[in-house]
């Protein structure tokens, strides 16, 4: 049975049984381009809050499923408040033999507020998420390339959130600590270590760590290609 054709118009949106058209986009988009800021810039806090609010405002458009929206919310919080992306990137691009103990210690001990603010990458990431929330029908007649690009963004974000949810499940139910996966990135270290150097507990984690390691490695390379910070 077809849904009744009802259209609701408000000051902010036009709503049909299938789609919602947002009239004003200003609170989801950046007001202007920002230059890369250093850790001592007095504007740093303002810019971080500006990006954070816009990512969070997109939460209702991520999915109709509460679990997915909650995972998105938790992931955004983690990215802004806890993730040491420079350490994660270093572990991906530097195999065991090329890793410097000094560099690892410096990156591991760098506080979030002391890191360079990657404004350009954050802006491109916001554009990526905006595309994943936007819908255009894929037809050859009208904007097929734009519609397909939005679909790719939506599928990538869906896979990312699915994997992040699996990490949360592993932390809750599989005896893997939060620090191992999201702070120390042990899964990017253990899988490349010789088995003789691992204890029994670490060996049990290898299959799951391999899955997370492959995904995060691919994600880092994707970010390098797109100039994003997914």
- Evaluate whether residue 105 is within a structural domain: yes
- Name the pLDDT band for 227 (thresholds 50, 70, 90): very high
**225 vs 189, higher pLDDT:** 225
Average pLDDT over residues 65-82: 93
Give the pair of three-digit tokens for residue 133.
Answer: 């929330």
Rounded to whole angstroms, how far apart are CA atoms 210 and 191? 6
2 found inside a domain: no
Q: Compute the C-alpha angle 157/161/164, nearest 5°.
A: 140
Which residue matches tokens 């810019």? 47
Q: Which has the higher per-residue pLDDT, 227 or 95?
A: 227
* Contact in structure between 48 and 56 (CB atoms under 8 Å): no
178 falls within a domain: yes
Nearest to 160 by CA among 136, 129, 186: 129
Q: How far apart are CA 144 and CA 190, in angstroms?
A: 43
Strand locations in the chain (E): 8-9, 13-15, 20-22
User: Which residues, including other chains, have CB under 8 Å from residue 92's CB and lie 6 or more apart?
Assistant: 188, 216, 217, 220, 221
40 within some domain: yes
Answer yes or no: is 103 within a domain: yes
Find tokens 């002391």 and name the residue: 114
0.85 exceeded by the pTM? no
More confident residue, 46 or 71: 71
Q: Is residue 66 part of a domain?
A: yes
Question: Tens digit of pLDDT for each residue in 137-157?
Answer: 777 666 677 788 888 999 999
Residues 6+ apart with CB under 8 A from 47: 34, 37, 117, 119
Work out the burial of residue 188: count CB atoms within 10 Å of its CB; fewer than 13 is exposed, 13-18 middle, 19 or more buried: buried
Residue 3 domain-assigned (yes or no): no
Tallying the residues shown for the chain, one arrives at 230
- At residue 9 the predicted structure's pLDDT band, cuts being 50, 70 and 90, is confident
Domains in the chain, number? 1
79 in a domain, yes or no?
yes
Beta bridge partners of 13: 22
Task: Show the domain range for 124.
Answer: 8-226
């Amino acid at each position: 049975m077809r849904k009744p054709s009802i259209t609701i118009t408000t000051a902010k949106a036009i709503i049909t049984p299938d789609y919602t058209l947002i009239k004003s986009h200003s609170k989801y988009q950046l007001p202007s381009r920002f230059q890369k800021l250093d850790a001592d810039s007095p504007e740093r806090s303002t810019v971080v809050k500006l990006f954070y609010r816009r990512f969070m405002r997109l939460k209702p458009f991520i999915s109709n499923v509460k679990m997915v929206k909650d995972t998105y919310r938790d992931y955004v919080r983690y990215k802004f408040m806890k993730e040491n992306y420079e350490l994660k990137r270093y572990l991906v691009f530097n195999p065991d033999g090329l890793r410097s103990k000094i560099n690892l210690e410096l990156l591991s001990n760098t506080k979030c507020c002391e890191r360079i603010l990657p404004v350009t990458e954050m802006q491109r990431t916001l554009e990526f998420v905006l595309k994943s929330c936007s819908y255009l029908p894929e037809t050859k007649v009208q904007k097929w390339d734009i519609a397909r690009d939005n679909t790719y963004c939506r599928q990538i974000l869906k896979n990312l959130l699915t994997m992040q949810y699996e990490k949360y499940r592993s932390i809750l139910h599989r005896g893997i600590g939060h620090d191992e996966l999201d702070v120390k990135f042990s899964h990017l270290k253990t899988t490349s270590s010789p088995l003789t150097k691992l204890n029994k507990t670490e060996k049990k984690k290898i299959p799951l760590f391999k899955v997370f390691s492959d995904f995060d490695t691919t994600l880092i390379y994707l970010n390098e290609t797109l100039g994003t910070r997914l």
